[in-house]
Amino acid sequence: MDTGWAVKLYSFADEVLWVIKLNALWILFTLLGGVALGIGPATLAAYSLARRRSSDESFHAFPAFQAAFRREFRRGTLLVLPLLAAAIVLIGNYLYFAALGAALPRLASLVALVALGLIAAYAFPMAVHYDLGIRMLLPKASLVALARPASSLVLLFVAVTIAFVSVKFPVFGFVLAAGAWIHLDTWLCLRFFAENDARLHPSGH
């Protein structure tokens, strides 16, 4: 009897359960931090666990998330809050110019918002994968985003797909969206980083 389909189904269900768990932990710890002081460390904690999961590590999700949240409290706050504030300003600008019917400023705001999102998409996995200070992360992430346009397009496509499905199915947005994005963003970026490191250091040293 061919059990291949059953194994694949189990693996898929296990991944979906993991994404739901990651999503719930991210929301819980963001709320426990009063949102403003919770979203930064919760985000880096979620990326830290997603990296461990992508590396096939075995761990208990809640205590691992709790430990990562405490460890990343300062760094997560310093990294995520400025990016979030910039995103809120750009969204406000976009809506303002859209209401005025100003096409060019609205387009400029949208392009800046997309660029900021791509930088963040690289910066968060980079923060938990490399030993880099806060000041180095955003310049490094910006360089990677510019140097790897194909990879950036893949990340943009994934983000737009998750956003579209979340709008069409709000329950998916609440239960899965954040966890799905963090998991996929980490999984993809780890492969992009490995390819980049192999290209820069072909001898393995």
Q: Dig out the tokens for 29 from the structure.
A: 């710890």
DSSP conformational letter for 56 = T
**CB under 8 Å to 71, separation ≥6 — which residues?**
45
What is the domain partition of the chain in residue ranges?
Answer: 4-200
- For residues 59 and 49, is the Cβ–Cβ distance under 8 A? yes
pTM for this entry: 0.92
The pLDDT profile of the chain, 205 residues, written as one tens digit per residue, is 456 787 788 888 999 999 999 999 999 999 999 999 999 999 999 999 999 999 999 999 999 999 999 999 999 999 999 999 999 999 999 999 999 988 999 999 999 999 999 999 999 999 999 988 888 999 999 999 998 999 999 999 999 999 999 999 999 999 999 999 999 999 999 999 998 888 877 765 4
